[in-house]
Copies of this chain bind each other. A is one copy, B any other.
Amino acid sequence: MAERTEIAEVGEFGLIERIRAITDVRTGDENLHANLLRGISDDAAVYRPTPGKVQLLTTDAFVEGIHFDLTFTSLHHLGWKIVAASLSDIAAMGGTPRYALVSLTLPKKISVEMVEELYEGAVYAAKKYGCLIIGGDTTTTHANMTLAVTMTGEADETRVIPRSGAQPGDYLCVSGHLGASAAGLKILQREKERYQNHTVDAPFVPNLEPYKEALEKHLMPKPRLDLVPLLTQSVSVHAMIDISDGLASEVHHICNASGTGALVYEHNLPVEHSTARIAEELSERVIDYALFGGEEYELLFALSEAEYKKLEDLTPDVTIIGRVQSREQGVELVGEQGDHSLLPFRGWDHFRTKA
């Protein structure tokens, strides 16, 4: 049985000490440490920006029951994931992550050890990508757990990649593969349902082994910071966004910000075999996973044909999925048969009631 210490036993300040011990790690980047002048335990963190760089700032909130389900998400994975989401935002701007704040509102069911596990996951992700967690805020709540990550990053001003620079004629590309995170979530939800419905006669063993790739993509997504040097220094990218709400919705964001339309070719969407197999097993359309599945944390970007040709020599991990066209031509999906339809502007918009 895991140890369980109530947060009330150690108090807010005791909890902060535990968190401080976990976040006090060394990264390989000595500058990151040398330029952090004040971290946890002052009224604000203080750091020196790198001269000549612009500062990036992003924040994301995660709500239990909306963004995550603790019945099938370990706190270690959750910590990883919330930090990965912010790292992905920094990547999408063409930046390098630097410092992060992680804040928690904690219901009574969460113990000190659970908070530690969450921070360990958060620190694991941060450290892997050269980011330091330097503070945050912890508070109690009578209701569900909510988490927030704020992250700073840096970039050369001339190399920041906005959403708004796509030009008609550009290729639309994505990194990696699509749909796996959604597939992983579907499997976890199915196993949860099986668990809830299982009879007491036999012990319940979730059947997860055959779905490893999708589960890992869902539970420990990798922000694509590895591609940032290529996309900012080796080629010129016009517009970029990360895929957090689903490809379809991100294409619309780029088009709205750029004042363009786009064509997305269904048969070009890169989907792994393991993802397609899950969709088939669940009698769902893998294209829906690829278009509307959120939490991919891959990059979607627009660049000219000439720049793409440079890029394809440098990495195999990028796929053309469409073209940018004029706003008047709209945002369309081209089906397997060459048929055009409007690309729905929907992703994982949790405010809308489901149709």
Query: A57 interface residue, CB < 8 Å from B?
Result: yes
Nearest CB in chain B: distance from A90 CB, A = 6
- Check A143–B65 contact: CB distance below 8 A: yes
Nearest CB in chain B: distance from A93 CB, A = 5
Nearest CB in chain B: distance from A144 CB, A = 5
Interface-side segment among A18-26, A145-153, A166-174, A194-202: A145-153
Nearest CB in chain B: distance from A175 CB, A = 14
Instruction: Please give me the residue from chain B that is nearest to A45 by CB atom.
Output: B57
- Complex partner residue of A44 from B49, B56, B63, B99, CB under 8 angstroms: B56
Query: A54 interface residue, CB < 8 Å from B?
Result: yes
B contact residues around A305 at 8 Å (CB):
none
- Check A54–B47 contact: CB distance below 8 A: yes
- Complex partner residue of A59 from B47, B65, B88, B150, CB under 8 angstroms: B150
- Check A11–B150 contact: CB distance below 8 A: no
Query: A60 interface residue, CB < 8 Å from B?
Result: yes
Instruction: Please give me the residue from chain B that is nearest to A104 by CB atom.
Output: B61
CA distance A242 to B43 in the complex (A): 8
Query: A236 interface residue, CB < 8 Å from B?
Result: no
Interface-side segment among A131-139, A180-188, A333-341: A131-139
Nearest CB in chain B: distance from A99 CB, A = 7
Nearest CB in chain B: distance from A100 CB, A = 10
- Check B148–A59 contact: CB distance below 8 A: yes
- Check A8–B353 contact: CB distance below 8 A: yes
- Check A46–B137 contact: CB distance below 8 A: no
Known A-B contacts A42-B162, A148-B148, A257-B41; A59 and B139 likewise in contact (beta carbons under 8 Å): no
Known A-B contacts A44-B57, A155-B46, A353-B8; A150 and B101 likewise in contact (beta carbons under 8 Å): yes
- Check B59–A141 contact: CB distance below 8 A: no
B contact residues around A62 at 8 Å (CB):
139
- Check A349–B11 contact: CB distance below 8 A: yes
B contact residues around A57 at 8 Å (CB):
44-47, 99, 101, 134-135, 150, 152
Query: A311 interface residue, CB < 8 Å from B?
Result: no
Nearest CB in chain B: distance from A274 CB, A = 28
Q: Write the A12-55 contact mask toward B (1 if CB under 8 angstroms, else 0).
A: 11010000000000000000000001100111111111010011
Query: A121 interface residue, CB < 8 Å from B?
Result: no
Query: A248 interface residue, CB < 8 Å from B?
Result: no
- Complex partner residue of A350 from B139, B144, B160, B163, CB under 8 angstroms: B139
B contact residues around A89 at 8 Å (CB):
43-44
Query: A232 interface residue, CB < 8 Å from B?
Result: no
Nearest CB in chain B: distance from A170 CB, A = 18
Query: A157 interface residue, CB < 8 Å from B?
Result: yes
- Check A48–B42 contact: CB distance below 8 A: no
Query: A140 interface residue, CB < 8 Å from B?
Result: yes
Q: Which of A306-324 contact B (CB under 8 A)?
A: none
Known A-B contacts A46-B54, A141-B144, A146-B141; A351 and B155 likewise in contact (beta carbons under 8 Å): no
- 29 example contacts (A-B, Cβ-Cβ < 8 A) are as follows A11-B352, A12-B352, A13-B349, A37-B157, A38-B93, A43-B58, A43-B92, A43-B93, A43-B242, A44-B56, A44-B92, A46-B55, A46-B160, A48-B54, A48-B157, A49-B55, A55-B55, A59-B137, A60-B103, A61-B103, A61-B104, A61-B139, A61-B146, A63-B140, A65-B142, A103-B148, A105-B146, A141-B144, A143-B144
Going nearest first, the 4 A-B pairs with the smallest beta carbon separation are A143-B143, A44-B58, A43-B92, A43-B89
